[in-house]
Amino acid sequence: MSLHPGSSLSVLLGRRLPPSAGEARRAHRSAAAGAMAPQRRSAPRGPESGSGTAAAPDRGGRRHGSAKKSRGQPEPWWRWLKAACLLCSAALGGLLSWSCLSAEDGVTEVLAPHSENLQGKFIEIPCSEDYDSHKRFEGCTPRKCGRGVTDAVITREEAERIRRIAERGLSLGGSDGGASILDLHSGALSLGKHFVNLYRYFGDKVQDIFTEEDFALYRDVRRRIQQRIAQDFGISSSSMYLTKPTFFSRINNTEAKTTHDEYWHPHVDKVTYGSFDYTSLLYLSDYTEDFGGGRFVFMDAGSNKTVEPRAGRVSFFTSGSENLHRVEKVHWGTRYAITISFTCNPDHGIGDPVLM
């Protein structure tokens, strides 16, 4: 579940750009008044800085400072100019690289670091108008909008057990691209470039993959997340209904093969899935330990906020445009999560999965 005048290079480098060729020659002439220029060991004593004109004659009437020497003297300036240009190029390359990363990331604040064990964090934000175009249900349809994160609802051990359910189910299939889906409610399972119905396609084999204990844990986790959402938004949990799609996701850095694999695009859940009123995600793996990239990004005006996944962490939010979001591309490893969505409309409700 898943857009936003640079300084000149001379300012970025903290120094003036190197002088032009004309400036270099003028500075070189003025150096004859006192600066000491590079010279050969065989050069005679006397004024040695040189200039663009011939040197004064010595006692024998001979003049020093040949044309060859005059041509050679500016060389240190050109070397300096070349070095400065290389420095500018390196700085420009670094700036462009930083810009590209910033354009992909756009992140300015970490809302929930993976290193912190959060009992609860909730931020209230103004509701969008998305809910006005849908039937309203008193006591459930969001009037208080926002987003929350907690590590206190599901334990790491429970998250690991839930993850093993996902791993076993996804072992039967998997996408050719980087994003695989398993929906225990509808039976939808990624298989190559398509989806199959897990229960029909594999039949009785499914009972060798899942147990009644797996589904009981699934129901209990769903119930506790539902209660926490209701508590933080000040509504009754009985007015909320599980809705579709609710699914496991497994994401790695394999190149996308179909549009279903392109999970990183910004979107609004209420627009994408009209039934959604409240969205939650339970993370089943750890950012920086199990995978890199893959952070969840709320795309706020002027200041994006990220949630860094952590096994057992629950992130939840109202599903309207007030919570435009995306997921960063996963760069390495494998990211597991389950999206659990809720509606206020009983007509869009679904039941918990049962082992067939």
Report pLDDT for 80: 66
Domain 108-348 has CATH 2.60.120.620: yes
Give this prediction's pTM: 0.72
Reading the block at residue 81, the tokens are 């100019």
Contacts of 182 (CB under 8 A, 6+ apart): 166, 169, 170, 173, 188, 189, 190, 198, 247, 248, 250
Taking only the tens place, the pLDDT of each residue in 238-250 is 999 999 999 999 9
pLDDT level of residue 303 (50, 70, 90 thresholds): confident
Q: Are strands 194-197 and 278-283 parallel, antiparallel or unpaired?
A: unpaired
Domain ranges of the chain: 9-37+47-102, 108-348
How many Å apart are CA 113 and CA 185, to the nearest integer? 32
Average pLDDT of every residue of the chain: 81
Per residue in 146-197, pLDDT (tens digit) is: 999 999 999 999 999 999 999 999 999 999 999 999 999 999 999 999 999 9
Catalytic residue status for 335: yes
Set 147, 228, 310, 335: catalytic member: 335
